[in-house]
Copies of this chain bind each other. A is one copy, B any other.
Amino acid sequence: MTVLIGVDWGSTSLRAFAIAADGTAREIRRAEDGVFAGTGDYAGRLRAVLGDWLARWPDAPILLCGMIGSDRGWLHAPYVAAPAGADDIAAALLQVPFERPAFIVPGISFAEGDMREVMRGEETLLLALASNNPDAVVCLPGTHSKWARLQSGRISGFRTHMTGEIRATLLSQGALATGVAQEPSVDAFRAGLAASSQGVTRGLFQARARRLLGTLDARHTAAFVSGVLIGDEVSSAKLAGDLRAPIILAARGAVAVDYVEALAGTGISVIDPEPLAAQGLLLLARGAKLIAA
């Protein structure tokens, strides 16, 4: 029985969840129709994606998270300032014009000295984690990796690293592009980790110099580059004192393997991030009393 229709509507793609009362997604639909990909008719685009779901579950409210709430999205949902808990975010849901109750989850911002941070979408995943792990450090790798601190079930602060974007951008063009299919390599990844101690601007060029001089296989360029960038991310976490706390790594597949390697010697637990969006959306819908607790 679907009690909530959840949508994680990001810049480049969308996932819709038919969420049951236990927080599991009984059905999932994916579309390439990202926030930045189409026209401004978000209501029409949402109807097209949800299709028969709307008739099947006429009473289920809709909750949307991600870039859909940015200033380039459906409606602009201003950031809630961290520290923030589920109650703060549930209280700031922003209703959009639709034929049934439909709300956008705002992102959160964080300030620490001159440093500034923003997230949209990850807060929903983090709140799902916080409901089971009220005090922890969470690493969410991605295009813009997030390291967040959970304290007493709230998101007390976080950092962002452009790791995934820098990696993809530099490997697709310029001096680091190879034109050959990439293969995983633990050795190349470790070499990249070690090189990152010399600085990122230097470490990245090593992927080219070592290839030219024969100490790096062209097929392992991406692995080396990942090592340099993730090494920098882990150094920042160390600087911030975040390698002492219990760390939850919310990642799967090859990405999880890389981070486990980079965090070797640190106490981490790895969890699959896939179910978190539906769980977090349910939690927020309950917090906002859109559905029964």
Which residues of A are interface residues toward B (Cβ below 8 A)?
Answer: 79, 109, 111, 114-118, 144-145, 159-163, 165-166, 169-170, 173-175, 191, 194-195, 198-202, 204-206, 208-210, 212-213, 215, 229, 232-233, 235-236, 239
A111–B198 CB distance below 8 A: no
A200–B201 CB distance below 8 A: yes
* A116 cross-chain contacts in B, Cβ below 8 A: 206, 209-210, 212-213, 215
B161–A165 CB distance below 8 A: no
Knowing A169-B170, A232-B200, say if A213 contacts B118 (CB, 8 Å).
yes
Knowing A195-B114, A233-B199, say if A205 contacts B170 (CB, 8 Å).
no
A165–B169 CB distance below 8 A: no
A201–B115 CB distance below 8 A: no
How many monomers of this protein are in the complex?
Answer: 2
A206–B239 CB distance below 8 A: no
Instruction: Report 25 cross-chain contacts, Cβ distance below 8 Å, ordered by A residue.
Output: A109-B209, A111-B213, A114-B195, A114-B215, A115-B198, A116-B210, A116-B212, A144-B175, A159-B202, A160-B205, A160-B209, A161-B201, A161-B202, A163-B201, A166-B166, A166-B170, A166-B201, A166-B204, A169-B173, A198-B236, A199-B200, A199-B232, A201-B233, A202-B233, A202-B236
A198–B165 CB distance below 8 A: no
Given A199-B200, A202-B236, 20 further pairs, Cβ under 8 A? A79-B213, A114-B191, A114-B195, A114-B215, A116-B206, A116-B215, A118-B208, A144-B175, A159-B202, A160-B205, A162-B170, A162-B175, A165-B175, A166-B204, A169-B169, A169-B173, A199-B235, A200-B200, A201-B232, A202-B232
Knowing A199-B239, A200-B232, A232-B200, say if A205 contacts B114 (CB, 8 Å).
no
Docked pose: A55 CA to B64 CA in angstroms: 73
Q: How far is the CB of A220 from chain B (nearest CB, A)?
A: 14
* A145 cross-chain contacts in B, Cβ below 8 A: 201
Docked pose: A109 CA to B210 CA in angstroms: 10
B114–A194 CB distance below 8 A: yes
B205–A161 CB distance below 8 A: yes
A204–B162 CB distance below 8 A: yes
Knowing A165-B174, A169-B169, A174-B165, say if A115 contacts B200 (CB, 8 Å).
no
Q: Among A116, A161, A173, A199, find the residue whose CB has the most chain B CB atoms closer than 10 A.
A: A199
Docked pose: A199 CA to B238 CA in angstroms: 11
CB nearest to A165 among chain B residues: B174
Q: How far is the CB of A149 from chain B (nearest CB, A)?
A: 15
CB nearest to A234 among chain B residues: B199
* A144 cross-chain contacts in B, Cβ below 8 A: 175, 205
